[in-house]
A and B are shown apart, each in its own frame.
Chain A
Amino acid sequence: MQGIEPMVPFNILVLVCLAYVLVLFVVAFVVEHPTIRLRARWLRSPLVYTLSLSIYCTAWTFFGAVGYAARSGLEFLTIYLGPTLVFVGWWWVLRKLVRIGKAQRVTSVADLISSRYGKSNLVGVLVTLIAVTAATPYIALQLQSVTLSFGVFASPVDTFGAPPGKEATALWVAVGLALFTVLFGTRNLDANERHHGVVTAIAVEAVVKLVALLGVGIFVVWGLADGPGEIFARIEASPVSHWTLDPGRWIGLIFLSGAAVLCLPRMFQVTVVENVEESHLATASWAFPLYLALMSLFVVPIAVTGLMLLPEGANPDLFVLTLPLAGGQGALAMLAFLGGFSSATSMVIVAAIALATMVSNHIVMPLWLRMQPSRAVSGDVRRIVLLSRRVSIAAIVALGYAYYRLSGGSSALAAIGLISFVGVAQILPAMIGGIFWRGATRAGAATGMILGAAIWAYSLYLPSFGPDGVISAAVLQDGPWGIGWLRPEALFGIEGMDPLIHALFWSLTLNAMTYCLVSILGFPSPIERVQGAAFVNVFEGGLTTSGWAGGKAEAEDLLILSGRILGEDEALAFFQTEAQAQGKEGFLPDPTPEFLDGLELRLAGSVGAAAAHAMLSQAMGGETVSVEDLVAVANETAQVLEYSAQLEEQSEELSRVARQLHEANVKLTQLSEQKDAFLSQISHELRTPMTSIRAFSEILMEGDVPPDLAMRQAAIIHSEAIRLTRLLDDLLDLSVLENGSVRLDLALVTVQDLLDRALMAASETRPERYFTVRRDLPSESIYVTTDPDRLTQVFINLISNARKYCDASQPELRIVVRQRAGRMIVDVIDNGTGIPEESQALIFEKFSRLTDQNRAGGAGLGLAICREVMANLGGTITYLPGQGGAAFRVTFPLRLQKAA
Chain B
Amino acid sequence: MDAARLLPVLGALLFLLPMLWSPLPGEEPGRSTASDGLYLSAAWAVLIVVAAVLGPRLVSIEQGKRRPGDVSETDDAGD
In the bound complex, CA of A360 to CA of B55 (Å): 37
In the complex, are the beta carbons of A84 and B29 less than 8 A apart? no
A241 touches which one: B29, B52, B76 (CB < 8 A)? B29
In the complex, are the beta carbons of B47 and A289 less than 8 A apart? yes
In the complex, are the beta carbons of B34 and A278 less than 8 A apart? no
In the bound complex, CA of A88 to CA of B79 (Å): 27
A89 touches which one: B5, B48, B73 (CB < 8 A)? B5
Query: Does B56 count as interface, using CB distance less than 8 angstroms?
Result: yes
Within 8 A of A (CB), among B1-53: 1, 4-5, 7-9, 11-12, 15-16, 18-19, 22-23, 25-27, 29, 32-34, 36-37, 40-41, 44-45, 47-52
Closest Cβ of chain B to A650, distance in Å, is: 33
Contact bitstring B48-76, A, C-beta under 8 A = 1, else 0: 11111011101100110000011001001
Query: Does A244 count as interface, using CB distance less than 8 angstroms?
Result: yes
Across the interface, name the chain A residue whose C-beta is closest to B7: A88
A286 touches which one: B8, B52, B63 (CB < 8 A)? B52
In the complex, are the beta carbons of A285 and B55 less than 8 A apart? yes
In the bound complex, CA of A474 to CA of B8 (Å): 44
Residues of A within 8 A of B77 (CB): 99, 102-103, 278
In the complex, are the beta carbons of B59 and A285 less than 8 A apart? no
Across the interface, name the chain A residue whose C-beta is closest to B51: A286
Closest Cβ of chain A to B21, distance in Å, is: 9
Across the interface, name the chain A residue whose C-beta is closest to B3: A91
In the complex, are the beta carbons of B34 and A85 less than 8 A apart? no
In the bound complex, CA of A74 to CA of B4 (Å): 27
A244 touches which one: B1, B22, B40, B56 (CB < 8 A)? B22
Query: Does A313 count as interface, using CB distance less than 8 angstroms?
Result: no
Closest Cβ of chain B to A290, distance in Å, is: 5
In the bound complex, CA of A293 to CA of B40 (Å): 10
Contact bitstring A690-715, B, C-beta under 8 A = 1, else 0: 00000000000000000000000000
Within 8 A of B (CB), among A247-290: 247, 250-251, 254, 278-279, 282-283, 285-287, 289-290
In the complex, are the beta carbons of B55 and A293 less than 8 A apart? no
Closest Cβ of chain B to A465, distance in Å, is: 28
Within 8 A of B (CB), among A458-495: none
Query: Does A662 count as interface, using CB distance less than 8 angstroms?
Result: no
| Stretch of A232-240, A817-825, A827-835 on the interface side | A232-240
Across the interface, name the chain B residue whose C-beta is closest to A293: B44
In the complex, are the beta carbons of A92 and B8 less than 8 A apart? yes
Closest Cβ of chain A to B35, distance in Å, is: 9
Q: Contacts A102-B77, A236-B34: A84 and B44 contacting too (C-beta < 8 A)?
A: yes
In the complex, are the beta carbons of A286 and B55 less than 8 A apart? yes
Query: Does A243 count as interface, using CB distance less than 8 angstroms?
Result: yes
In the complex, are the beta carbons of B37 and A235 less than 8 A apart? yes
Query: Does A77 count as interface, using CB distance less than 8 angstroms?
Result: yes
B19 touches which one: A86, A250, A293, A297 (CB < 8 A)? A250
Contact bitstring A190-232, B, C-beta under 8 A = 1, else 0: 0010000000000000000000000000000000000000001
Within 8 A of B (CB), among A41-86: 73-74, 77, 81, 84-86
Residues of A within 8 A of B9 (CB): 89
Closest Cβ of chain B to A804, distance in Å, is: 71
A91 touches which one: B1, B11, B16 (CB < 8 A)? B1
In the complex, are the beta carbons of A232 and B34 less than 8 A apart? yes
Residues of A within 8 A of B54 (CB): 285
Query: Does A379 count as interface, using CB distance less than 8 angstroms?
Result: no
Residues of B within 8 A of A244 (CB): 22-23, 25-27, 29
Query: Does A334 count as interface, using CB distance less than 8 angstroms?
Result: no
A: interface residue count bin: 35 or more
Closest Cβ of chain A to B78, distance in Å, is: 9
Query: Does A373 count as interface, using CB distance less than 8 angstroms?
Result: no
Query: Does A242 count as interface, using CB distance less than 8 angstroms?
Result: yes
Across the interface, name the chain A residue whose C-beta is closest to B44: A293
Residues of B within 8 A of A278 (CB): 62, 77
Residues of A within 8 A of B26 (CB): 244
Closest Cβ of chain A to B44, distance in Å, is: 5
Residues of B within 8 A of A232 (CB): 34
In the complex, are the beta carbons of A285 and B51 less than 8 A apart? yes
In the complex, are the beta carbons of B58 and A91 less than 8 A apart? yes
Residues of A within 8 A of B16 (CB): 250-251, 254
Query: Does A36 count as interface, using CB distance less than 8 angstroms?
Result: no
Contact bitstring A333-360, B, C-beta under 8 A = 1, else 0: 0000000000000000000000000000
Query: Does A9 count as interface, using CB distance less than 8 angstroms?
Result: no
Closest Cβ of chain B to A41, distance in Å, is: 14
Query: Does A245 count as interface, using CB distance less than 8 angstroms?
Result: yes
In the complex, are the beta carbons of A293 and B45 less than 8 A apart? yes
In the complex, are the beta carbons of A81 and B32 less than 8 A apart? no
In the complex, are the beta carbons of B11 and A74 less than 8 A apart? no
Residues of B within 8 A of A236 (CB): 32-34
Query: Does A569 count as interface, using CB distance less than 8 angstroms?
Result: no
In the bound complex, CA of A864 to CA of B57 (Å): 80
In the bound complex, CA of A250 to CA of B33 (Å): 15
Query: Does A541 count as interface, using CB distance less than 8 angstroms?
Result: yes
Query: Does A542 count as interface, using CB distance less than 8 angstroms?
Result: yes
Residues of A within 8 A of B33 (CB): 73-74, 235-236, 240-241, 243, 300
In the complex, are the beta carbons of B55 and A85 less than 8 A apart? no
In the complex, are the beta carbons of B51 and A289 less than 8 A apart? yes
Query: Does A768 count as interface, using CB distance less than 8 angstroms?
Result: no
In the bound complex, CA of A297 to CA of B45 (Å): 12
Within 8 A of B (CB), among A540-555: 541-542
In the complex, are the beta carbons of B48 and A286 less than 8 A apart? yes
Across the interface, name the chain B residue whose C-beta is closest to A300: B37
Query: Does A246 count as interface, using CB distance less than 8 angstroms?
Result: yes
In the complex, are the beta carbons of B7 and A89 less than 8 A apart? yes
In the bound complex, CA of A103 to CA of B44 (Å): 33
Residues of B within 8 A of A92 (CB): 5, 8
In the complex, are the beta carbons of B34 and A235 less than 8 A apart? yes
In the bound complex, CA of A290 to CA of B50 (Å): 12
Closest Cβ of chain A to B4, distance in Å, is: 4
Q: Contacts A88-B47, A244-B22, A247-B19: A542 and B70 contacting too (C-beta < 8 A)?
A: yes
In the bound complex, CA of A92 to CA of B5 (Å): 6
Residues of A within 8 A of B79 (CB): 192
In the complex, are the beta carbons of A74 and B40 less than 8 A apart? yes
Q: Contacts A85-B11, A92-B5, A282-B59: A293 and B73 contacting too (C-beta < 8 A)?
A: no
Closest Cβ of chain A to B69, distance in Å, is: 8
In the complex, are the beta carbons of A91 and B47 less than 8 A apart? no
Across the interface, name the chain A residue whose C-beta is closest to B38: A232
Closest Cβ of chain B to A308, distance in Å, is: 14
Residues of A within 8 A of B63 (CB): 279
Across the interface, name the chain A residue whose C-beta is closest to B49: A286
In the bound complex, CA of A742 to CA of B76 (Å): 76
In the bound complex, CA of A242 to CA of B41 (Å): 19
Residues of A within 8 A of B27 (CB): 244
Residues of B within 8 A of A251 (CB): 16, 19
Contact bitstring A143-169, B, C-beta under 8 A = 1, else 0: 000000000000000000000000000
Closest Cβ of chain A to B55, distance in Å, is: 4
Residues of A within 8 A of B69 (CB): 541
Residues of A within 8 A of B36 (CB): 74
In the complex, are the beta carbons of A289 and B19 less than 8 A apart? no
In the complex, are the beta carbons of A88 and B1 less than 8 A apart? no
In the bound complex, CA of A422 to CA of B6 (Å): 26
Closest Cβ of chain B to A577, distance in Å, is: 11
Residues of A within 8 A of B58 (CB): 91, 282
Residues of B within 8 A of A99 (CB): 77
In the complex, are the beta carbons of A283 and B32 less than 8 A apart? no
| Given A240-B33, A254-B12, A254-B16, 9 other A-B residues pairs in contact with their CB atoms under 8 A | A74-B37, A77-B37, A81-B40, A84-B44, A88-B7, A90-B4, A91-B5, A283-B55, A286-B55
Q: Which 9 pairs show the lowest CB-CB distances between chains A and B?
A: A89-B8, A241-B33, A282-B55, A245-B22, A286-B51, A286-B52, A91-B4, A235-B34, A247-B19
